[in-house]
Chain A
Amino acid sequence: MRPRLIVTRQIPAAVAVRIGAEFDCPWPEGRDMDAEEMLRQLAATKADALMISSHMKFTGEVIGRIPDHVRIAATCSVGFEHMDVAAARARGLPVTNTPDVLTECTADLTLMLILTACRRAHEYDAIMRAGWRRGFGLGEMLGTRVWGKRLGIVGMGRIGQAVARRARGFGMDIRYTDQQRMRPEIEQGATFIPDLHALLPECDVLTLHAPGAPDGRPLMNADAFARLPKGAVFVNAARGVLVDEEALLAALRSGHLAAAGLDVFRNEPAFDRRFAELPNVFLTPHMASATVETRTAMGMRALDNIAAVLAGRPPIDPLWI
C-alpha cells in the first residue's frame, strides 16, 4: 500500500506527477487549505505524512492536534519561521525544510534587483506603459552603471557566494561581512570586513544575505543607512525583518540612497504601501525562488525528506535532531 500524504498548498506539475505515482493523496496537485481543514484531512485519510509551505501557520497548538499517525511534516520552503520547531521536537514529530535548492535562483534575482534598481527599471517601464512617444535628452533619466562598482555582501553563505560569482561578471569589486572570514577559494579576492559599520561606507551597492537576528532587531537602521555613501543602492532579497523600513523610506526619499530593490518586507503581503509610492524602488512579491525549476526542486526535496522518514531513515534536512 502506498503511503498517504496531504499537501496543503498548490505545487508545480512535476511534483504532482511524482506524488501521484508514489503516494496515496486525495489532491496530488495540492489544495490550498487552512489549519483546520488540514487537521480534518489528516484524520480522515489517516495520513502518514504532511507537506506544507510557509503559508501554513504551524503553531504549537496546531502541532499538538496533529494525529499520531502523521510521521513527518515537510515544509516546501527554506524558511521555517512559520513552524514551532520546539513544539514539533517536544512531541517527536520530524519537521524538515528545503535548503540548498534555492541558491542559484535567489542569486539570479538578487542581481536582477541590483540591475533594475540601478538602471531605474520601474520608472522606465512606467514610461513605456504610458505610451512613451518622446525621445530623451542625453542627460535625462540616467541611471547608475553597475559595472565596476563596489558591492557589499552582508552574509557570505551559499547565496552570498553565488551573488559574488555573478557580480564578478560585472567587474564589481566585492567586500563582505560575516561572523568569520571565508577561505581564500571561497573569497575569490573579495575583501573581508568584520564590522558591518566599517563595511557600509565602502559600498556603492549593498545586498543582504543574512538570517534574521535572534533578537529581531533590524541590522539596517537609520544609523546603518547613513553610513552608506550618498547615492548608494540597497537590495534585500533575504528577510524583511533585517530592515528598519521607516529608516529605509527616509533614506530613499531624501535621496541619500539612489534606489532600492526589495523582494521581502517586514509584513507580507500587507507591506508598507508607502514603498509603492516611490519611483526609485523596484518591488517584487517575495519571488526569489519563483522559477518552475526551483519550485519543482523544492517540492522534490520535501518529498525526498518524506520518503526517507517513511522508509525508516533519518530525514535529509531535519529542523531538529
Chain B
Amino acid sequence: MAKPVLLITRHLPPAIEARAARDYDARLNPEDTPRVAADILRLAQGADAVLCCPAEKLDGATIGALPATVKVLGTFSVGYDHIDIAACRARGLPVVNTPDVLSVATAECCMLLILAAARRANEGERLVRSGTWTGWAPTQLLGTLVSGRRLGVFGFGRIGREVARMARAFGMEVHYRDVARVSAELEDGAIWHEDDDSFLAASEMLSLNAPGGNATRQWLNAERIAKLPAGAVVANGARGTLVDDEALIAALRDGHLAAAGLDVYDGEPNLNPGYLKLENVVLLPHLGSATRETRDAMGNIVLDGIDAVLAGREPRNLVR
C-alpha cells in the first residue's frame, strides 16, 4: 500500500524529517522557502495531511479551499492563532498542535532573561569583547542579586509554574497573578494576588508568562510599571503585546527599572528601536523554545497526532 502523503510547509529538524520520510510520502521544503496560503493549497493537492507552521495564515477561505483529501492539519506550534479553528470544525478537519513540550525550554529562557538582566550580563559581554576591559573593580558593573528575591509571575499556567519551580531553586519567594487561584498542589507555596497593586508591589523581579490577545494587551503600562519597586527587573518571554514598549523604555531610561530581558516584541521581527539604545536590556530574537530537544519533541508530538488521526484514533493533542 502506498504511504499517505504529508505536506510539510517548512524545513524541520533532521530527526523529524527523517521520521516523516519513513512513515509518509513526505513533501518537504529543504530550502525552507516561506509559503503563503496559495502555495499551500497548490502543494496540498492529493495530500492526506498538512503540517503547517505559525508564520502561515490559514484563514477560513484557505481552510475551505483545502483539497478534500486532507484529513488532518498539524501545526508546529502550541498556539493556533494563525488557523481559523471554526472553519476547520465546520469542515470536520481535526487540528493537532504541540502542547506542553515547550514549557521547560521557555521557562529556562525566562530564567536566563531574569539572571542576565539582573546581573548585567550583556554589558559585561560587550565590555570583554570590545577589548576595553581594564580589570576587576569593586564597583564595576554591579548588578542585583537574584537569589532570595521576590519573583512575581504574571500568568500562572504551565510555563509560569515552571518558572516558579526554577526560581524556588534560587531561594526566590514566588508571587503570582492570574484570573483565578490555582490548587495548592500547583501553587506549591506561591502566593496568589487578587489584584494588580499588591502583586506589582511585591515583584522585585517580574516574569510575564500570560497569553497574548486583547485581554492582556499592553498590560505592563506606565501606571503598572510605576507600582513595581524601584530597581525592579522585568522579563518577558511570553508575548510582545503584553508590554507598552514606550513606557518600559522610559522606565529603563530613568532608572526606575534596573533592567529588562526580552525575548518577544510587539510587531516582531521588528522591535521598538528605543530598546537598541539601552545598555540595561538583554534582547533575544524570540527563540525561547529554540532548543534541539524541544524542536524534536514538538515534531514528534505533532506527527504522533497526525499518525493517530490517519489511523482512526483520537490524538491526545487535538485542538478543541
Contacts and interface: CB of A to CB of B under 8 A. Distances in A.
A129 B290 contact: no
B238 to A, nearest CB: 17
A268 interface: yes
A112 B135 contact: no
B251 interface: no
Contacts of A32: 137
Given A122-B125, A137-B11, A295-B142, A129 B283 contact: yes
Contacts of B111: 111, 115
Size bracket of the A interface: 35 or more
Contacts of B148: 104
B292 interface: yes
A186 to B, nearest CB: 16
Contacts of B165: 169
Contact of A127 (B285, B293, B294): B285
Contacts of A125: 122, 125, 282-284
A147 B108 contact: yes
Most chain A CB atoms below 10 A, which of B124, B145, B269: B145
Contacts of A108: 115, 119, 145-147, 170
B53 interface: yes
Contacts of A54: 136
Contact of B290 (A111, A141, A273, A285): A141
Given A12-B142, A290-B140, A115 B128 contact: no
Contact of A268 (B136, B169, B282): B136
Contacts of B136: 53-55, 268-269, 285-286
B214 interface: no
Contacts of B269: 132-135
Interface in A167-198: 167-171
B14 interface: yes
Contacts of A287: 119-120, 124, 140-141, 143
Size bracket of the B interface: 35 or more
A104 B138 contact: no
A165 B171 CA distance: 9
A187 to B, nearest CB: 16
A137 B116 CA distance: 25
Nearest to A9: B138
A110 B78 CA distance: 31
Contacts of B121: 112, 116, 121, 282, 284
Contacts of A276: 128-129, 131
A14 to B, nearest CB: 12
B115 A142 contact: no
B295 interface: yes
Contacts of A269: 133-136
Interface in B229-246: none
A59 interface: no
Contacts of A10: 137-139
Please name the 3 residue pairs, one residue from A and one from B, whose CB atoms are nearest each other, closest first.
A169-B169, A128-B283, A145-B291
Interface of A: 9-12, 30, 32, 53-55, 76, 104-105, 107-109, 111-112, 115-116, 118-122, 124-125, 127-129, 131-148, 165-171, 268-269, 271, 273, 276, 282-287, 290-295, 298-299
Interface of B: 10-14, 32, 53, 55, 76, 104-105, 108-109, 111-112, 115-116, 118-122, 124-125, 127-129, 131, 133-148, 165-171, 268-271, 276, 282-287, 290-295
Given A53-B138, A145-B293, A169-B170, 19 more contacts: A10-B138, A32-B137, A107-B147, A119-B290, A138-B76, A138-B295, A145-B104, A145-B108, A170-B104, A170-B108, A170-B169, A276-B129, A282-B125, A283-B124, A284-B121, A285-B127, A287-B143, A290-B143, A291-B119
28 contacts: A9-B137, A10-B138, A53-B138, A104-B147, A108-B115, A108-B119, A115-B116, A124-B283, A124-B287, A125-B284, A133-B269, A133-B270, A135-B269, A136-B287, A138-B11, A138-B53, A141-B287, A142-B13, A142-B295, A145-B294, A167-B169, A169-B167, A169-B170, A269-B133, A290-B141, A291-B142, A291-B145, A295-B138
